[in-house]
Structure formats: C-alpha cells, structure tokens
Chain A
C-alpha cells in the first residue's frame, strides 16, 4: 500500500515537474528560434553592407544576396509555422523581435543604398548590365519587404497565441511601438528603392523602327529587280558590273545608316519587340536572298561568257563581283546581328517567343543561302583568275 502511495506520489511529482518544465521549454525554444533569426538577419545585413557595385560585378553579388534573403524568409516561415498555442511570451523573445524589426530596416536601407549605386553606375554601364541590376534590385526589395511582412505577421501571431499578454502588456506595447516605426521606415525605403529602379528603366519599342525597316526591304527588292534585269555581255560586262557593285555598295551604306541607331539604342536601352518588327526582320532576310539570287545569275552568265571575254574586262568584272559579294555578305551579317542584339536586349521574349523562333529560323536559313551564293561567286572568280592567269 505504502509502495502504491509512494509510486503515486512519485508519478504526480514527475508529472508536475514535466508540466512546469514544458512551457518553459516551449518558451525557451521560441526565444532561441527568434535569436537564430536575428543572427541570420544580421549576417545578411553584413553581406549587403560589403557589396559594392561596379560595371563588372552587378548581377553576381546581388543574386547571392537574393538567395540569402530568400533563405531568411524561408527560416522565418518555418519558425512561424512551428508556433502553437498556448505561448508564453518572455522579455528575450520580445527583445529578439525588436532586433528583427531593426535589422529589417537596416536591410531596407542597404537596399536603398545599392539602388543609388546602381543609378550612378547607369551613367557608365551598358544597358545589359543595368537591366540585370534592375531586376536583381527589384527582387531584393521584394525579398526584404516580404521578410519585414513575415516578421510582423509572426509577431501578430505570437500575440494571438500568447496566454500571458496581461503580464507582459507594457513590454509588448513597447515592442509594438518599435515595430510600427521600423515597419513604416522599412516600407518607405523599399518604395524609394523601387522608384529609383523604375526611373532607370529605359525601353525602346522596336515599332518605332518599323518604317525604316520596311523602306530597306522595298529598296532592297528594287535593287534586286535592277540586278536581275542586267543582261551581261562580253563587251560591256565590266561596266555593267561596276555599276551594280556601286549600287550594292550604296545600298550597304543605306543599310548601315538605318541600322546604326537601332544598334546604338540597344547599348543604352532594352527593347520591346512587336510582331510587325519581327516580320520586317524576316522580310529583310528574304530581300537579301533576292540579291544573292541575282549574284547567282551573274555567276552563271560570267561562266558562260568567260571564253569570249577579254582578260581586262574579265579581271575588272571579277573584281566587281568580289566587291559585290563582300558587300552583300556584310549586309546579311549586319541584319542578322541586329536581330540577335534586339533579342538579347528584349524585355518581352516570353510574350513573343513563338514569333521570335520563327523569325530566327527564317533569318538563319536565308543568311545561309546568301553565304552559299557568296561562296559560289568567290569560287567562280578564283577559278577564272587561275585559269586565265589574271
């Protein structure tokens, strides 16, 4: 019987000890969790503080900072998810929350500093670097904002689950004050960062170049028609080809002049592609094949006439052919490069993905045809030069 009582007393004592220990353990766990979050947030703050942006190191450190910020948001979410009522709030937990709100503000201020650095850098860097920087900074502000929100929500949840609010009321009210001030300042810093980034965005719509692209296509088609209309004969061949070579060269100049501003824009702005521009780019490459078809015709004609043409006329003609081929090659390359550059700087690749794929394939196939014609013209010229010892 005694043993029974003793056992009963012992069980009761153990239960009492366990019960009295349990809230304290949960309480200690919360304070520890919050303290760990503070350490992680401080680490991120130090990481941001040492980032200094220059033209070569914009995206790398910002991407790493983003990863760290996201890890922190995930850690906060984890602590938040592990909260269970009833909670006992203690001074340590509240101090850790105060510290989290303060570090949150410091992080937002670091973000703001980086956005000002990026603004300064935009004067000297290429649009591609700034484009990456803008996205990285917007992502970072999003992450820091989310972090501040999650800390606030966690604080609210702790309050909802707490069963000793009355006892800690004054301390809680003090924390609320700190939270309110810091969250407002944090939001303001984030908004300023975002506004700074949005003023840096510089975009050019490709539709502004549609008219000049179309003019190039029309002029190129007219040139191709003129080239196709030339009937070479052994006596005037040199003169005819010289005229054509001059026409082609002038057209190359027109192409270069028209494309130069677009190429220039891609170094200072991103591009917003529309479907008409993509169609114009494809049309330009089709126009180039018309020019190279005319060159193919000349190769056949010269091969047919070479036996009855004088060496001087042939030499001059071949020179014009080589000149013309080189110019058409340059033209094809410039147009292809402009397409590539617009794509590299495009903001809206996803929106126009299908049309871009079609255009790139058409351009690539057409340029390959042009290159094949140029090679044929060069081979013909070299063979005749060797055969006739020109």
Chain B
C-alpha cells in the first residue's frame, strides 16, 4: 500500500515537473526570439539606400533573417501538446507580430528610397539592391507567416484556452491585423520593385542592326572592287572614307541608343541579334583585310606617286583604320552590354558563348590587319617624309 502511494506520488511529481520545463522553455524561447527579432529590426532601420553599399548590407541582413527563420522553425518543431499558455507568452507573440509589421514598413521605406535613386544610378547598381529587396520582402513575409503559424499551433495545442480566452482572442486578432498589414507592405515593396523592372527585347533594334549589316556588306563589296593607282589613290580613299564615316555614324548611333536604354532596362536577347552581331564581326574582318591590301599597294606604288597625293592617301588610311577599328569595337561592346542584364541569359548562354568566340576570332584578325595597315602607312609617312 505504501509502495503504491509512493509510486503515485512520484508519478504526480513527474507529471508536474515535466509540464513546468515545457512551459518555461516556450516562454524563454519566445522571449529569445523577440530579442533577436528586435536586433534585426534595429539593423534594418539603420539601412539607407543613399549611403551606398546597399546590396552588401541587405545581403548580410538577409543571411541574419534566414538564420532567425531557422530559429523560429526550431521553436515551432519543438512545440508539443499539452501546452499551458501564460500571459507573458501571449505578450511575446503580440510583440513578435508587431515587430514583423514594423520590419515590413521599413522594407517599404527602402523600396521607395530605391525608386528615388533609379534615375541617378546605372541599372546594374540598383538591380542588385532590387533583387536583395525582393529577397528581404520574401524573408519578412515568411517571418510573419511563421509567427502566425506558431501562434495557431500553440492555440491548437493549448490546454487552457478557456482560462485565457479573452487574452488569446486579442492576440489572434492583433496577429491577423498585423499579418494583413505586413502582407500589404510586402505587396507594396514588391510592386515598387516590379515597377522598377523594365525589359527591352533586342527585336526592337534588329531592324536598325540589319541595316548596319547591309551597309557594312555593301562597303565591304565596294572596298573589294577598289583598285588603287598612283593617280587617283587619294580620291578613291576619300570616297571610301565618306562611306565608312556614314557607316560608323550609323553604328555609333545604334550603340549609343542601346547604351542609354541599358541604363534603365534589361534585355531579352533574340537569336537573330546574336547572329547579326557575329556576322558584323566577320564583315569588319573583311574591311580590315581590304585596308591591309590598300596599305601594301600604297607602299608598292608610293615612289610613283606625287607627294601631295601620297600625303592625302596616307592621312585617309590612318582615318579609315581608326574608323573601322572603332566600328569593330562598338559591335563587341554591344554584345558585352546586352549580356550584362540579359533576362534570358541562362536560356541563351550557349548561343552567347558561340557568338563571342566568333567575335573573338574575328577581332584578333581585324586588329592584326589594322595594325599591319597602320605600320605600313607609318613606314610610308616616314620614308617619304610626309
């Protein structure tokens, strides 16, 4: 009989003590989450887009929030029925929910700040902050959800709902109102970021690029037909120069327009654009090869040519070399620019690499021809004292 009483006492004590640590642990867990959350909120409130280095600060904060989320998940996974709720627990849940709502309001502030610097910065600079902002909105939303889920789960597991009913109702209503506000803030943040995103399909300038390709092909044909003589070499080169200058203007105009658009819009690369950019580098190689031939010819017939004609011809040659070099550079740079902010970089990466390799081979040959032409021309200038 005594043993039975003793056993019953031990059992009662065990039950009493096992319930106590669970309760104490939930209370302290919630308070610790609250302290960590407050620190995150403070960190977020000190970030200002104008200070620079926004992407690093937001990146560090994102990592901290993700660690924090893991902490919430941990507390959540350790919840076990029956739970006995205290007023302190409910206060912590209220505070956590308020905190998340505050953080979402801070995110909205940052998103407005980012919109205000859009006109002052290059797309790439604010785009990295933009993706960090979307990530932040995502993280804060997840935080709000986890806290609400934790509150719901605690409610489902609580064994003293009746005793705490009024307090619980207040907490649930507050949580619900805060989650609605948080979601609204997150939506505003996301909308601000999406509004900042603009995309330009390269199809928009394929027509102009096509015209540049046609003109470049015509120039290559024209240059191929030129036969330099000691009498009319200056006149012929001057004619080619006029055609080249027109083509260079067309190319630089397209490049300038594209560079300006790149400051505010990302690119969707169309396959035809890459094909034309690759083709252009091949045409430029032909142009440079023609110049190399001209230089060799001029060098050969220089001694038969009158000095003024030779001087004009060699000056034209240097200008032609500079113009064709510049055209070839602009086309390479155009490719570089459109891949920086390409929306479909992943889908087009093989084509991009192919185009760049083709361009690379062509540019090496182009530059080698231009250099030879330049060297020969300089030698002529030197030898004939022009």
**Which chain A residues numbered 131 to 175 have a C-beta less than 8 Å away from chain B?**
131-132, 134-136, 138-139, 141-142, 145-146, 149, 152-153, 156-157, 159-160, 165-166, 169, 172-173
B301 to chain A, nearest CB (A): 19
Contact indicator A187/B360 (Cβ below 8 Å): yes
**Besides the known contacts A136-B128, A347-B346, A350-B197, 13 further A-B residue pairs in the complex with CB atoms under 8 A apart:** A59-B59, A132-B128, A142-B336, A145-B332, A146-B333, A153-B326, A187-B363, A198-B345, A337-B142, A360-B191, A371-B176, A381-B161, A382-B172
B318 to chain A, nearest CB (A): 5
* A350 with B198, Cβ < 8 A, contacts A360-B191, A364-B183 known: yes
**Which chain B residues numbered 142 to 192 have a C-beta less than 8 Å away from chain A?**
142, 145-146, 148-149, 152-153, 155-156, 161-162, 165, 168-169, 172-173, 176, 179-180, 183-184, 186-187, 190-191
Spell out A's residues near B (CB within 8 Å): 56-60, 63-64, 66-67, 70, 128-129, 131-132, 134-136, 138-139, 141-142, 145-146, 149, 152-153, 156-157, 159-160, 165-166, 169, 172-173, 176, 179-180, 183-184, 187-188, 190-191, 194-195, 198-199, 201-203, 205, 270, 272, 319, 322-323, 325-326, 329-330, 333, 336-337, 340-341, 343-345, 347-351, 353, 356-357, 360-361, 364, 367-368, 371-372, 374-375, 378-379, 381-383, 385-386, 389-390
Contact indicator A56/B329 (Cβ below 8 Å): no
Per a CB cutoff under 8 Å, which of B55, B172, B195, B349 touches A59?
B55
Residues in A neighbouring B344, C-beta threshold 8 A: 272, 347-348
B295 part of interface (Cβ distance < 8 Å): no
Residues in B neighbouring A337, C-beta threshold 8 A: 138, 141-142, 145
* A56 with B125, Cβ < 8 A, contacts A138-B339, A152-B329, A272-B346 known: no
Residues in B neighbouring A375, C-beta threshold 8 A: 172-173, 176
In angstroms, Cα B326 to Cα A379, docked, is 73
Contact indicator B346/A340 (Cβ below 8 Å): no
In angstroms, Cα B145 to Cα A322, docked, is 17
Contact indicator B128/A378 (Cβ below 8 Å): no
Contact indicator A57/B56 (Cβ below 8 Å): yes
In angstroms, Cα B353 to Cα A242, docked, is 59
Contact indicator A322/B155 (Cβ below 8 Å): yes
Contact indicator A349/B197 (Cβ below 8 Å): yes
Q: List 26 A-B contacts (CB under 8 A).
A: A66-B122, A128-B132, A128-B135, A149-B332, A157-B322, A160-B319, A165-B378, A166-B382, A183-B367, A191-B360, A202-B346, A203-B346, A322-B152, A325-B152, A326-B156, A340-B186, A340-B190, A349-B199, A349-B343, A350-B265, A350-B266, A353-B194, A360-B187, A364-B187, A371-B148, A375-B172
Residues in A neighbouring B319, C-beta threshold 8 A: 160
Binding-face segment, B16-24, B207-215, B368-376: B368-376
Residues in B neighbouring A198, C-beta threshold 8 A: 339, 345, 349, 352-353
Residues in B neighbouring A383, C-beta threshold 8 A: 165, 169
Residues in A neighbouring B131, C-beta threshold 8 A: 128, 131-132, 344-345
5 closest A-B pairs (Cβ-Cβ)? A350-B199, A203-B346, A60-B56, A333-B145, A169-B382
Contact indicator A371/B179 (Cβ below 8 Å): yes
In angstroms, Cα B382 to Cα A356, docked, is 66
Size range of the chain B interface in the assembly: 35 or more
Contact indicator A319/B124 (Cβ below 8 Å): no
B337 part of interface (Cβ distance < 8 Å): yes
* A372 with B135, Cβ < 8 A, contacts A56-B56, A160-B318, A326-B153 known: no
A298 to chain B, nearest CB (A): 16
Interface string of B342-386 (1 = CB under 8 A from A): 011111010011001100100110011001001100110110011
* A135 with B382, Cβ < 8 A, contacts A201-B349, A202-B346, A344-B135 known: no
In angstroms, Cα B54 to Cα A132, docked, is 13
B118 to chain A, nearest CB (A): 13
Residues in A neighbouring B186, C-beta threshold 8 A: 340, 364
Per a CB cutoff under 8 Å, which of B127, B172, B360, B379 touches A378?
B172
Contact indicator A329/B152 (Cβ below 8 Å): yes
* A132 with B55, Cβ < 8 A, contacts A145-B332, A202-B346, A382-B161 known: yes
Q: For residue B172, which residue of chain A has the nearest CB?
A: A378
* A344 with B134, Cβ < 8 A, contacts A63-B55, A135-B341 known: yes
